[in-house]
Amino acid sequence: MNKKKSSKRILSRILNGLKKTPTYILLIVIAVVMLFPFFWMITGSLKTYNEITANPIVWWPETIQWINYKEALDFAPFDIFFMNTVIVSFANTSITLFTTILAAFAFARLKFRGQHILFVLLLATLMIPGQLLIITNYKTIAVDMHLKDTLWALIVPYTASGFYIYLLRQFFIGIPDEFYYAAKVDGCNDWGFLWRIMVPNTKNALITIALFNWIASWNAYIWPLLITDSVEKRVLAIGLRYFSNETGTDFHLLMAAGTIVVLPLVILYIFTSKYILEGVAQGGIKG
């Protein structure tokens, strides 16, 4: 009898594995498609110009060209671009987190006249493509505030986000009302309740918002290109343009520079992926 039961269990596991095989194959195909651009960028950064432009394709360099990274860094002032990008990304993320926390708390806990109308208007802004705001932002920053070609011009327009406010509001709503009433009984005001109870209990959501905002700031291209003129105020994404000119594109150096730009984001994601997955899981349970 025990042998029959064990054989049935083994057969059942095999059948379950076969049922999941198409799903695994699909996931593997998707993973390969998603990772291939990174593979091509990294291997391209280690090839010579002739190898990366060869036909048929050279999948792996005959001799690894580490010197491409040094030449890419010497080709443009990437130290200035890197520092500007770090400053702008840090400022954008810090200010956005602060404004998001305050606005989300107001919509989640406070009661005031016109609250629902304001929240609907906030959601309506999510339907407006960001490209439509470029002209208005340019007039405000460059003409009215006279901040053109400054780092403040890269920071001011992106100090708040309707989507992040909506996302964090949903997490704040998920915190039981009993916590709020208990804090009130203990003499804690709204400001203390926000920073002592709500923020620590939504740590995963805040880390997710911070990472997404950092990536958006780090990869920004159109707005920095439009609002800055001097090399001293440029960022990394614009630095990649230096490898293309009238005579052609240095693809091997461009791939090396692209790897340098992407690498910090990959490292940042590796260290924060745990919190992002937990935040998404919590959001799915609450939804």
- On whether both 119 and 168 belong to a single domain, the answer is yes
pTM equals: 0.81
Q: How many whole angstroms separate alpha carbon 69 and alpha carbon 66?
A: 6
Q: Do 216 and 86 share a structural domain?
A: yes
Domain span holding position 21: 2-44
Number of domains in the chain: 2
In a domain, 68, yes or no: no
Helix axes 162-173, 203-219, angle to 10 degrees: 170
Instruction: Please report the DSSP string for 166-181 in residue order.
Output: HHHHHHHHTS-HHHHH
Residue 52 belongs to some domain of the structure: no
CATH code of 196's domain: 1.10.3720.10
Distances (CA, A) of 232 to 72, 77, 92, 114, 216: 18, 9, 19, 45, 21
257-268 tens-digit pLDDT:
888 888 888 888
User: What's the token pair of residue 68?
Assistant: 């491409």
219 occurs within a structural domain: yes
Q: Is residue 63 part of a domain?
A: no
SS3 of residue 240 by DSSP: helix
**The pLDDT value given to residue 281:** 61
**DSSP summary character for residue 159:** S
Predicted local confidence at residue 97, as pLDDT? 94
Q: What is the pLDDT of residue 247?
A: 67
Tell whether 279 and 230 lie within a shared domain.
Answer: yes
Question: Do both 33 and 155 map to the same domain?
Answer: no
**Do residue 11 and residue 126 come from a single domain?**
no
> Would you say residue 58 lies in a domain?
no
pLDDT of res. 99: 94
Please give the span between the terminal C-alpha atoms of the chain, in angstroms, as a whole number.
Answer: 46
The answer to whether the CB of 217 falls within 8 A of the CB of 86 is no
235 found inside a domain = yes
For helices 251-286 and 2-44, give the axis angle rounded to 10 degrees. Answer: 140
Q: Would residue 6 count as lying in a domain?
A: yes
The answer on 34 and 80 residing in a single domain is: no
- Are 141 and 10 contained in the same domain? no
pLDDT of the residue at 72: 84
Question: At which residue do the structure tokens 């520092």 appear?
Answer: 83
Quick check: is 50 in a domain?
A: no
Residues of the chain with pLDDT under 70: 1-19, 246-247, 278-287
Domain match, 150 and 222 both: yes
Q: What is the pLDDT of residue 287?
A: 44
Rounded to an integer, what distance in angstroms lies between the CA atom of residue 194 and that of residue 188?
Answer: 10
Stretch (H or E) spanning 42: helix 2-44
Question: Does one domain contain both 20 and 117?
Answer: no
Residues 147, 243 within the same domain:
yes
Beta bridge partners of 248: 245
Res 24: pLDDT: 79
What's residue 285's pLDDT?
45
Residues 14, 21: Cα–Cα separation, whole Å: 10
236 and 95 together in one domain: yes
**Cβ contact 107:165 at 8 Å:** yes
SS3 249: strand
pLDDT tens by residue, 62-119: 888 888 888 888 888 888 899 999 999 999 999 999 999 999 999 988 888 888 899 9
- C-alpha to C-alpha distances, 44 to 102, 233, 268, nearest whole angstrom: 45, 29, 23
Cα–Cα distances (Å) from 33 to 25, 38, 231, 235, in that order, read: 12, 10, 36, 29
Q: What local confidence, expressed as pLDDT, does residue 113 receive?
A: 86
- Amino acid in position 228: T
Same domain, 84 and 147: yes
